[in-house]
């Protein structure tokens, strides 16, 4: 139960109790159960975040930081009695056109960031799915997404952050420079720390000149394995993104959007290039005809690809998110399909083949509770045996923490020590990662 | 004095006592003084590194890790009685052509890495100056260099490392994948940690397809300030590198190499583009004629640029290495020139204008000991006031540790706690950073 002392906060902050803050986008069957005993605070600036943390630390009250609530691993769910700290009001955004930096409050959404950059003739290349994701959330989870192939995940775009530590003190990490060699990179320690080391309140992100172009290419194949084999060759052309999509996934996206995907196959490669020349070379590299999309068509393709999750999310147990070395994708697809057949699990596959980050979507089946976690463990073991990891971009959150502890015991131990050092009372997003 | 117990090591390892291991490339006037009481060990594999650290940790003997000894901040100098652990025998290298990864021992040099990549039709874009720099050293210092502008510093190329911790235990950090979202990035904690958190023994680096081309462009200006103003506009074309070079620096490079630099000016922009088109656009963007170098000429330009330090190093006090937001370069150049005039310090400037990392070389003058550090402090304060940092790529080592402590007190404190957590006996590169 939340302590009486919460009254002290009520004098200063409006306290919300909306159940909308109890969940994120994690598929229901695997999502953690929210506590029925949490309050929501919406600080308006860094000072208020600092006050809340100072108070929570003194009182040893758990603080669950929340950005856009678009996470897929239960990271934002308040799983015990405590405070949900929503960054939604940290909204200031300033585009520094000359430096091509965006100075953002943690609550700025991906959509707002993209629009602001565009107004200044600039762009923010990565695109981690949900446009309601926030800057703070994308950094705290080191979000990836489709366009992480050429220029990397969010990690590569963050120059500095303002963070509030567990005791309420405010720290700047990183700098507004493109290079920095002043001691350990505390910045990179916070990137991907899932709200467990501090609350990100501001960040400076690197922008790019407007993309010179983006040309979509679609190639159809007889099987997912064949598409996977071919996709590796295409990476030589350094596309912005390189997706592998099963036909069933395409059909779901078509249904949701009412739009049409080109070609007929069991599986597709969908690549985006910066230059038209490269898109032409794609045909040579693949030694086959490819469909080159017009600008308008590319929008439709993106929209179909982006809508698959919406159409599928109520039918699946979860989204697997393993990442393997790119050259191992064909083998991974083959081996994981065998495991799926063995367990009788029907899996719909699409994902970022170019960087080896494959999303597999096991459909709900009767009695799944009995065999699913064995199936999943076998999948994880295949990924690990190929040099892969159990999460490429969705993070550990609550949904993979047992496996994380098991498979990464040594690293876990050191991470836990760092966690204890920086949050001795364990108030920051407890029950996540660890 | 080194303890008698060193005999225990002598049973297993050959012990070297060469004075060649007492210095690195730090300019003499500012370099730390080496102890006269150190021994050199050259382990042949990770297991041997682990044995040495276990022993040193038990005996509380300082261990100074050494790569190519090309550092510029005193990072590799054994400043107290102890062991110099040279990684020079950790030489295995395997190019994984399909994944475009290089699996390297820490002692592989930049030159060896580049040649190995080339043999497989691949490339390693960044180029931190000295080709005798080692993979381990480049990672431990997060080396930058000329070609860090488009694709970033070494940090962006490291996928995983094997490290030996202070107690001799072996840890894998990162993974052989392009994405990884499994807990805190311990990998990035080791990158740039200057040998103070662990010894890097192996690393997997990301390679690129062979550069499609590299086209050099030179533009001459009447002043350094003017060149600085113009260089910012050129960054929109995303060159691989964008250098600002004072004519005096060019002349020194010409003398060393016997080669000729094109154009007549007080200062030059020297940019390298991947595409010929972009090099043509450079002229439009600058609204002036530029010199476009043939492939052979570009080699000469690189050679002149790369030889300046050789010709200048005995005449300078040190290399300043501040990094400011790119748009602040003109202001920084102006303000720092004023300070130099005030102190009567003659400074030769060249550096990576595109990413805001300016190298200034104060020439030795009579009585420099009396005023130089005040001059330097004013320079650092200007950089900090513009949102910059005191080191962009050379690191803290011994030469900036007092300033680091002073200017970055809060970050310093947290870093020191992490250091104490991971190396409680303080054996790893003591006296560096902290």
Tell me the per-residue pLDDT of B297-316, one tens digit each, with 9 for 90 and over: 999 999 999 899 999 999 99
When pLDDT is cut at 50, 70 and 90, the band that residue B219 belongs to is very high
The tens digit of pLDDT for each residue in A319-369 reads: 999 999 999 999 999 999 999 999 999 999 998 989 999 999 999 999 999
How close does chain A come to B3, measured CA to CA in Å?
Answer: 31
Residue A389 to residue B185, Cβ atoms within 8 A: no
Residue A181 to residue B396, Cβ atoms within 8 A: yes
Query: How far apart are the C-alpha atoms of B63 and B43, rounded to whole Å?
Result: 13
Q: Which residues of B touch A120 (CB under 8 A)?
A: none
Q: Which residues of A touch B423 (CB under 8 A)?
A: none
Between chain A and chain B, the number of residue pairs with CB atoms below 8 A apart is 228
Q: Which residues of B touch A172 (CB under 8 A)?
A: 410-411
Q: Cβ–Cβ contacts within 10 Å for residue A119, how many?
A: 10
| Stretch among A28-32, A82-86, B11-15, B63-67 having the lowest mean pLDDT | B11-15
Q: Angle formed by the axes of helices B276-286 and B224-234, to 10°?
A: 130
| Confidence (pLDDT) at B351 | 86
Q: Which residues of A touch B178 (CB under 8 A)?
A: 148-149, 323, 326, 355-357
pLDDT (average), residues B326-341: 96
Query: How far apart are the C-alpha atoms of B405 and B428, rounded to whole Å?
Result: 19
**CA dist list (Å): A389 to A358, A393, A427:** 11, 10, 28
pLDDT (average), residues B67-92: 97
pLDDT (average), residues A390-411: 97
Residue A209 to residue B404, Cβ atoms within 8 A: no
Q: How far is CA B409 from the centre of its chain?
A: 23
Instruction: State the Rg of chain B over Cα.
Output: 22
Residue A183 to residue B393, Cβ atoms within 8 A: no
Does residue B94 or residue B9 have the better pLDDT? B94
How close does chain B come to A423, measured CA to CA in Å?
Answer: 12
Q: Which residues of B touch A101 (CB under 8 A)?
A: 325
Do B401 and B432 contact (CB within 8 A), yes or no?
yes
* Mean of the per-residue pLDDT values of chain B: 94
How close does chain B come to A160, measured CA to CA in Å?
Answer: 11
Residue A156 to residue B153, Cβ atoms within 8 A: no
Q: Indicate if the pLDDT at residue A316 is higher than 90.
A: yes
Q: Which domains does chain B have, with CATH numbers?
A: 93-209 (3.30.465.10), 215-385 (3.40.462.10)
Scanning every residue of chain A, which has its alpha carbon at the shortest distance from the alpha carbon of B389?
A: A180
A197, A232, A396: residue with CB nearest B98: A232
Residue A179 to residue B98, Cβ atoms within 8 A: no
Q: Which residues of A touch B433 (CB under 8 A)?
A: 183-184
| Confidence (pLDDT) at B214 | 85
| Confidence (pLDDT) at B147 | 75
How close does chain A come to B418, measured CA to CA in Å?
Answer: 7
| Confidence (pLDDT) at B61 | 96
How close does chain A come to B2, measured CA to CA in Å?
Answer: 29
Q: Which residues of B touch A153 (CB under 8 A)?
A: 179
Q: Which residues of B touch A178 (CB under 8 A)?
A: 148-149, 323, 326, 355-357
Interface test with A, best of B181, B242, B407 (most A CBs within 10 A): B181
Query: How far apart are the C-alpha atoms of B386 and B142, rounded to whole Å?
Result: 23
Q: Indicate if the pLDDT at residue A214 is higher than 90.
A: no
Residue B182 to residue A98, Cβ atoms within 8 A: no
Residue B177 to residue A325, Cβ atoms within 8 A: yes
Tokens in use for A387?
A: 């040099």
Do B326 and B356 contact (CB within 8 A), yes or no?
yes
Interface test with B, best of A123, A179, A394, A421 (most B CBs within 10 A): A179
When pLDDT is cut at 50, 70 and 90, the band that residue A132 belongs to is very high
Do B408 and B350 contact (CB within 8 A), yes or no?
no
Q: Indicate if the pLDDT at residue A3 is higher than 70.
A: no
Scanning every residue of chain A, which has its alpha carbon at the shortest distance from the alpha carbon of B433?
A: A183
pLDDT (average), residues A247-254: 96
| Stretch among B65-79, B172-186, B229-243 having the lowest mean pLDDT | B229-243
When pLDDT is cut at 50, 70 and 90, the band that residue A38 belongs to is very high
B96, B180, B393: residue with CB nearest A389: B180
Q: What is the ipTM of this complex?
A: 0.96
Do B324 and B360 contact (CB within 8 A), yes or no?
no
Residue A192 to residue B209, Cβ atoms within 8 A: no
pLDDT (average), residues A231-245: 91
Residue A414 to residue B99, Cβ atoms within 8 A: no
Closest by CA to B151, choosing from A206, A1, A202, is A206
pLDDT (average), residues B193-205: 98
The tens digit of pLDDT for each residue in A170-192 reads: 999 999 999 999 999 999 999 99
The tens digit of pLDDT for each residue in B130-168 reads: 899 999 999 999 998 777 788 788 999 999 999 999 999
Q: Indicate if the pLDDT at residue B220 is higher than 90.
A: yes
Q: Which residues of A touch B208 (CB under 8 A)?
A: 238
Q: Which residues of B touch A181 (CB under 8 A)?
A: 141-142, 144, 192, 321, 389, 391-396
Q: What are residue B220's phi and psi, to 5 degrees?
A: -105, 145
Does residue A303 or residue B126 have the better pLDDT? A303
Q: What proportion of chain B, given as a percentage, has pLDDT over 70? A: 99
B152, B182, B355: residue with CB nearest A389: B182
Query: How far apart are the C-alpha atoms of B361 and B322, rounded to whole Å?
Result: 12
Q: Indicate if the pLDDT at residue A40 is higher than 70.
A: yes
Closest by CA to A51, choosing from A104, A13, A89, is A13
Closest by CA to A41, choosing from A79, A91, A87, A105, is A87
pTM for the complete prediction?
0.96
Residue A396 to residue B236, Cβ atoms within 8 A: no
When pLDDT is cut at 50, 70 and 90, the band that residue B3 belongs to is low
How close does chain A come to B192, measured CA to CA in Å?
Answer: 6
Q: Indicate if the pLDDT at residue B4 is higher than 80.
A: no
Residue A396 to residue B177, Cβ atoms within 8 A: no
């Amino acid at each position: 139960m939340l302590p009486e002392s919460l009254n002290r906060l009520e004098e200063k902050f409006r306290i919300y109790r909306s159940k909308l803050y109890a969940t994120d986008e994690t598929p229901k069957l695997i999502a953690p159960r929210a506590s029925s005993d949490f309050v929501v605070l919406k600080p308006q600036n860094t000072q208020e975040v600092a006050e809340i943390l100072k108070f929570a630390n003194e009182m040893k009250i758990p603080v669950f930081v929340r950005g856009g609530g678009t996470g897929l691993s239960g990271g934002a769910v308040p799983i015990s009695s405590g405070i949900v700290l929503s960054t939604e009001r940290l909204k200031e955004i300033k585009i520094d056109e000359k430096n091509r930096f965006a100075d953002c409050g943690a609550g700025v959404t991906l959509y707002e960031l993209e629009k602001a950059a565009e107004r200044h003739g600039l762009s923010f290349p990565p695109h981690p799915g949900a446009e309601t994701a926030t800057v703070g959330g994308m950094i705290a989870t080191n979000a990836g997404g489709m366009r992480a192939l050429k220029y990397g995940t969010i990690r590569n775009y963050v120059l500095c952050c303002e963070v509030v530590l567990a005791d309420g003190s405010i720290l700047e990490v990183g700098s507004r420079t493109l290079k920095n060699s002043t001691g350990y990179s505390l910045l990179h320690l916070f990137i991907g720390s899932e709200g467990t080391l501090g609350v990100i309140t501001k960040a400076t992100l690197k922008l790019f000149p407007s993309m010179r172009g983006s040309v979509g290419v679609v190639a159809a194949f007889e099987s997912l394995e064949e598409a996977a084999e071919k996709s590796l060759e295409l990476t030589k052309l350094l596309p912005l993104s390189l997706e592998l999509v099963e036909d069933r996934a395409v059909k779901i996206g078509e249904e949701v959007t009412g739009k049409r995907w080109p070609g007929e196959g069991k599986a597709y490669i969908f690549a985006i290039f910066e230059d038209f020349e490269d898109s032409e070379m794609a045909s040579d590299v693949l030694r086959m005809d490819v469909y080159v999309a017009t600008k308008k068509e590319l929008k439709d393709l993106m929209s179909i690809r982006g809508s698959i999750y919406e159409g599928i999310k109520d039918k699946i147990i979860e989204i697997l998110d393993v990442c393997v070395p790119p050259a191992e994708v064909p083998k991974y697809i083959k081996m994981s399909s065998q495991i799926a057949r063995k367990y009788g699990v029907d899996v719909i596959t699409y994902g970022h083949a170019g960087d080896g980050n494959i999303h597999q979507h096991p459909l709900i089946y009767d009695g799944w509770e009995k065999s699913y976690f064995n199936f999943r463990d076998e999948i994880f073991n295949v990924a690990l045996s190929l040099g892969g990891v159990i999460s490429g971009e969705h993070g550990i959150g609550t949904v993979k923490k047992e496996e994380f502890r098991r498979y990464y015991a040594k690293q876990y131990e050191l991470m836990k020590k760092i966690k204890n050092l920086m949050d001795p009372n364990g108030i920051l997003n407890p029950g996540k990662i660890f």
